[in-house]
Amino acid sequence: MRSKRTVFENRRIQLVFWVVLALCYLLGIFFVGLGVKESAYGICFEDKFLAPSLRHPFGTDGLGRDMFFRCMKGLSTSMVIGILAAVVSSFLALVMGILSAVLGGFVDKFINWAVDLCMGLPHIVLLLLISFMMGKGMKGVTIAVALTHWPALTRLVRSEVLQIRSSLYVQTAYRMGKSPYQVAVTHMIPHVLPTYVIGLILLFPHAIMHEAAITFLGFGLPAEMPAIGVILSEAMNHIAAGKWWLALFPGLLLLTVVVLFDVIGDNLKKLWNPQSGNQ
């Protein structure tokens, strides 16, 4: 009885519990979506516009396609784009943040200038421009999303590194003749890693939302690919005619995925960096 209560009251275990739960859900969607065959959401004109039922939990659309499997497939596509984007963006951010802080001078100025430039433009406009320039479709979206999510994280990494750089042990390391490269690898990276990983995870929801947004606006994935943005923009045509399930379930699903990524990120932050609340 007593031990059970401790487990329940232990914040650390609570946090881990939530993270694991969220992770299971997300991985579940991801792998179910990847495994869905095209025939699962194939056209079946006899079944068009069916309301949600046991056979079609999310209903069907105007071509009789099963919305549950279309959503799953679409979300996993979004997640793939999200992962690619987050990895590329966060890598860029890590490299540039450290370079900027360690080398200083011209490099620091240039990187700061680039960050300001990217953050000065409305994000969605930048996304549209890049996606359109790269020919839209999967390629355009991925490149656009991957190349536009680094500035905020770069700033974070840079300020973190600046803080460490002025600390005594780093100064000592320099005095002992270590090269900037050695300092970066042995002292900087391990220190900024928690911040970095959390930043990376918190990039996911942004990336996924942005992919859905530009797809919704018609500058992203093409209509023939199942994607939440496509599904939602198609649903716009039918909401007025009372086909509520076409928008509700995909929207909810997108929302839960985004919120869950946020939950994971926030909880990891508390676990790894408990002092962050005092900052």
**Interacting residue ranges for other proteins, rule: CB under 8 A:** 43, 45, 48-49, 62-63, 213, 216-218, 222-224, 234, 236-242
Closest distance between other proteins and the C-beta of residue 100, in Å?
34
Closest distance between other proteins and the C-beta of residue 57, in Å?
23
Contacts of 170 (CB under 8 A, 6+ apart): 164, 183, 187, 188
Contact call for residues 85 and 142 (beta carbons, < 8 A): yes
* CB closer to other proteins, 162 vs 248: 248
Side chain identity at residue 94, one-letter code:
L
Closest distance between other proteins and the C-beta of residue 254, in Å?
14
**Rounded Cα gap, residues 272 and 21, in angstroms:** 18
* CB closer to other proteins, 62 vs 180: 62
Closest distance between other proteins and the C-beta of residue 217, in Å?
7
**Rounded Cα gap, residues 193 and 199, in angstroms:** 10
* Residue for token pair 């039918």: 238
* CB closer to other proteins, 225 vs 271: 225
Contact call for residues 151 and 163 (beta carbons, < 8 A): no
* CB closer to other proteins, 216 vs 249: 216
Closest distance between other proteins and the C-beta of residue 64, in Å?
9
* CB closer to other proteins, 90 vs 131: 131
Q: Is the dihedral of CA 237, 210, 220, 81 positive or negative?
A: negative
Contact call for residues 111 and 205 (beta carbons, < 8 A): no
Closest distance between other proteins and the C-beta of residue 75, in Å?
20
* CB closer to other proteins, 44 vs 117: 44
How many CA atoms are closer than 13 Å to the CA of 253, on its beta-carbon side?
Answer: 31
